[in-house]
Amino acid sequence: MKPKIMITCCIGLLLLSSIVSVSSYADVPQLINYQGKLIEDGAPVAGSRTMTFSIWDNNIGVDPESGLWHETQNVAVTDGIYSVEIGFASALPANLYNYDDLFLQVDIQHPTAGWQRLSPLMPFDSTVFAIKAARADSVAGGAVTSVMIANRAVSTEKVADNAVTTAKIADGTVKAIDIEDGSGSGLDADKLDGLEASAFITGVNAGTGLTGGGSSGDVTLGVQIPFNLTGVSSGGVITAINNSLSTGYGGYFEAKGSEGRAVYGYSSNTGDVENYGGYFKAYGKKGIGVYVYATGSEGIGVYDKSKSAAGVIVENTDFDTIGILGAGFGVYGKHMSSGSEGFLGYDKVGVFGVSGPGGYAGAFKGKVKIISTTTGQIVLELRDDGRAVCKVLEITGGSDLSEGFEIRGIKEKLLPSPGMVVNIDPDNPGDLMVSNKAYDRRVAGIISGAGGVKPGMLMGQKDSMADGTNPLDLTGRVYCWVDTSGGSIEPGDLLTTSSTPGHAMKVWDYNRAQGAILGKAMTSLKDHRGLVLVLVYLQ
């Protein structure tokens, strides 16, 4: 007999202190106190119960693992009364309160009847949403003082032109260290460092070098374009050294033209000696030999065009090091003729990609093939019409072949969930409904995913009648909810639909079972209800 469970409950925010700061999400208590009274068969429960709590943005719910958040706790019950802190076993996510409406679903494991779901789902009241009070909508005038603003936190880009006038700057408040250099700074050399303009560089003499005073500080040269430096030196014609202990550049180059090149390297040696158009080294622990940054919508960080030679060669001798690291398209390869490769990788890992949230570790446009290193034959081909072609496909993530269906519950009280037996829905062509009749010849199968056994392959066609959110097992092994109304279950027993909603039972009337058999039991069940492993085949 199915136990009668009555639960009286209330939801409130558990305040860990009397004053709550609004500085950040982490400063606000993140536990919700949930209390209730549990009565089974008219008597208060004593002992403990395993409960699964899940939060949804709708009042329907299904499998707790499909909700916005879920956790399972072993709850002590005294005279039917229990109290738990939601979020104790699994922390509530920071973005949970971005939803306008939230509902709590509670599933309780009965000692004999298995999991029971409380209905309807309980909405959260405004008290719970007070957790999100980590931001003020306005700041009173004069509330932010200078001691609250870090040095250089307000850049010039954040201050409107002419917003700061001389009347708003007190005498002596602007120090030399606070003034940025630049051609547009408006600073006069006569007013700097106590030196007259004649003490600075005034001209360039090709024979003797620079003229003028000063032996330290920054020097900016303006020269006529084109500007060429030539010479013979094993150490290089131009040597630039930056002795900064932190950041800085040995050389900084910028080209603003539509087809400009900030740095153009060319080596004219045509012999067999290895030479370089550009050669860069970085010895620091986090040194970068070449840093490339392109911001245009069609910009290219590194572009190489070659005929018979390799476009770009990247070598490293340590497996833990990175040959090429990029954001967006880390490596973009495009072959221009037959027999060429857009990108060729070999040795330990040919191509290794890591993506951020919402990105792709690798993206390919066109056909993709994987070739065996032993036979040289194609072992997998991904075609541009969506087909994957291979000789053997081995799937290790699930055991059954399923197809997605839309499944209707029983009067919105018993919603479809993994392991339930379902029938063809006569009122909604192409859809299914939870079974609730013994020996029903409309039986369609079992919802896959119960008992930790998931579908190995899930089929469907998006935006068509052959589409749905619930995986229905078509063939293979799947766990099914079964009762013993037709007798205890043993391996090999034929199973049919039961009058218990969503359950199967043992076939005992073989005449009525014709056309209503959904498979064979592979495990046993002595009494009551429970999950049985079933080998699915409809008859």
Residues 213-234: what's their mean pLDDT? Answer: 61
Instruction: Kindly report the number of other CB atoms within 10 A of residue 379's CB atom.
Output: 15
pLDDT (mean) for 369-374: 84
- Distance in angstroms (rounded) separating the CA atoms of residues 252 and 262: 9
Residue 94 burial (CB count, 10 A): 14
* Res 305: pLDDT: 65
Half-sphere exposure for 320 (CA within 13 Å, toward CB): 0
Question: For the segment 72-114, what is each residue's pLDDT rounded down to a tens digit?
Answer: 999 999 998 999 999 999 998 888 778 888 899 999 998 888 8
> Minimum mean pLDDT among 9-13, 46-50, 78-82, 408-412: which range?
9-13
Tell me, yes or no, if the two domains 5-132 and 400-536 fold the same way: no
pLDDT tens figures, 2-35: 555 554 444 443 333 222 333 444 455 578 888 8
Q: What are the two backbone dihedrals, phi and then psi, of residue 495, each rounded to the nearest 5 degrees?
A: -120, 145
Separation CA 199–CA 210 (nearest Å): 13
Long-range CB pairs of 149-156, under 8 A, 24+ apart, other chains included: 156/180
Quote the CA–CA distance of 375 and 372 in Å, as a whole number. 6
Q: What percentage of the chain's residues is helix, strand, coil (to nearest 5)?
A: 10, 25, 65
422 phi, psi to nearest 5 deg: -130, 155
Q: Name the residue among 20, 82, 26 with its Cα closest to residue 49.
A: 82
Q: Which of 31, 96, 108, 34 is nearest to 67 (CA)?
A: 96
Given pLDDT bands bounded at 50, 70 and 90, which one contains residue 226?
A: low
The domain over range 400-536 is classified in CATH as 3.90.660.10? no
Tell the residue number behind the tokens 């014709």, with chain if given: 514
Give the pLDDT score at 422: 95
Q: What is the pLDDT of residue 24?
A: 45
And the tokens for 249? Answer: 């550049």
pTM over 0.75? The answer is no
Cβ count near 144 (within 10 Å): 10
* Span 251-263, average pLDDT: 69
Residue 21 pLDDT: 32
Domain ranges in the chain are 5-132, 400-536
CB 488 within 8 A of CB 527: yes
Positive/negative CA dihedral, 302, 303, 306, 311? positive
Per-residue model confidence (pLDDT) at position 465:
80
Per-residue confidence band for 409, with pLDDT thresholds at 50, 70 and 90: confident
As a whole number of Å, the end-to-end CA separation of the chain is 30
Cβ(80)–Cβ(45) below 8 Å: yes
Which numeric CATH code is attached to 5-132?
2.60.40.2060
The span from the CA of 357 to the CA of 343, in Å, is 25
Spatial separation of the C-alpha atoms in residues 84 and 94, rounded to whole Å = 20
Alpha-carbon distance of 364 to 382, in angstroms, equals 10
Q: What is the helix (H) or strand (E) element at residue 512, kind and residue range?
A: helix 510-513
Token couple for 60:
């329907």
Per-residue pLDDT at 185 exceeds 60: no
Contact predicate 261/253, CB 8 Å: no
Helix (H, G, I), strand (E, B) or coil at 10: strand
Sign for the pseudo-dihedral over CA of 374, 378, 381, 384: positive
Give the rounded distance of the alpha carbon of 87 from its chain centre.
22
